[in-house]
Structure 1
Amino acid sequence: MVARGDESAYRQLFEHYWPRVYSVALLLAKVPEAAEDAAQEIFAQLWIKKEQLVNVREFRAYLFATARNHIFNKLRGQVFTGSFTAYLQEYFSDALANPAATLEFKEAEQIIHNGINQLTPQQQKVFRLSRFQGLSHAEIAAETGLSQRTVKNYIVSANLSLRNYLEKHAGSSVIFLWMLLSL
């Protein structure tokens, strides 16, 4: 019914799923205001794209996949608005209150940067434009004069190289930090 524009069906859907979507957003974002904003944006997008719901067989799975992707995109966007270090320090602030965790964080950050420095110069440039400046493949292609396909290939190969490097040189916490980069 929501797909046909039924506002009361949408309201029921909103009331039923809001607490769960908000909880997932809070778990991932760790900031109540950001979680609330994300949940509101998710439900707004549901209404805007309501016609597409006709093709959805498992609404709950669709909703949570949509929520997860939206929240990860917001988190990745936060990485791009400031320094990567500042973002990670804020995200892991509870753990970083512990001096040992702070040292581990700094070591992890250094290992990740060393891994990036092991990439070819072109991979480094494309990877940094993508992950640290938040540019799309099209924007990177325009800035570097490469094709979008080449940009994508560089990013894929950079991710593979970094994963291999980190598996050899790092523990699970470093690999988790790298996963944030590769969202």
Structure 2
Amino acid sequence: MSNSSLPEERELLRQIARGDESAYTLVFNHYSKQVFNAAMLYLKNTTPAREVVQEVFLKIWLKREAMSDVEDLTGYLFILTRNHIYDSFKKQATQLKAVDNFVQLQPDAIEDTDYRLQERQYDHLLNRAVSSLPPERKKVYIARKEGLSNEEISHKMNISIHTVKKQMQLAVQTVRSFVKQQLHI
């Protein structure tokens, strides 16, 4: 920003501190182009640079009581401009990071939902296959899926281990065939 100061700048700043709108307008008209040019150095885009001018001068008006303490208005405006732009960059970076995190989580959520839906469908299909088994074969199959050994099933159902093995083999074949038929494999 150039060092072309307004004559009686200190007096204008005191008037702004007291709420004088005409003094504020004079300062705005004189320095807004310099603030715009400084913003363009960083942003390289006129629309955001104009927004920075508005934000910087809005901040001056909102904090006008402190303006009588400003020694170098040109330097003060440059610092306000730079800080506003840096804060905007930080905010954008935070927003981009949040969006990136959100996007990274979405495929997992979609895959997880798809997986759960598919798993429920397979469970339903398996239950239908097991339900179609003859009663004794069904009991052997369910007991085995519950973690019982062939010997435990044999004792529990009062049948030979050979019968347990044969019923389990037939149950697995029937379930496999049923699932293949339903899935058109």
The TM-score bracket by the shorter chain reads: 0.3 to 0.5
Rg larger in structure: 2
TM-score (normalizing by structure 1): 0.44
TM-score (normalizing by structure 2): 0.43
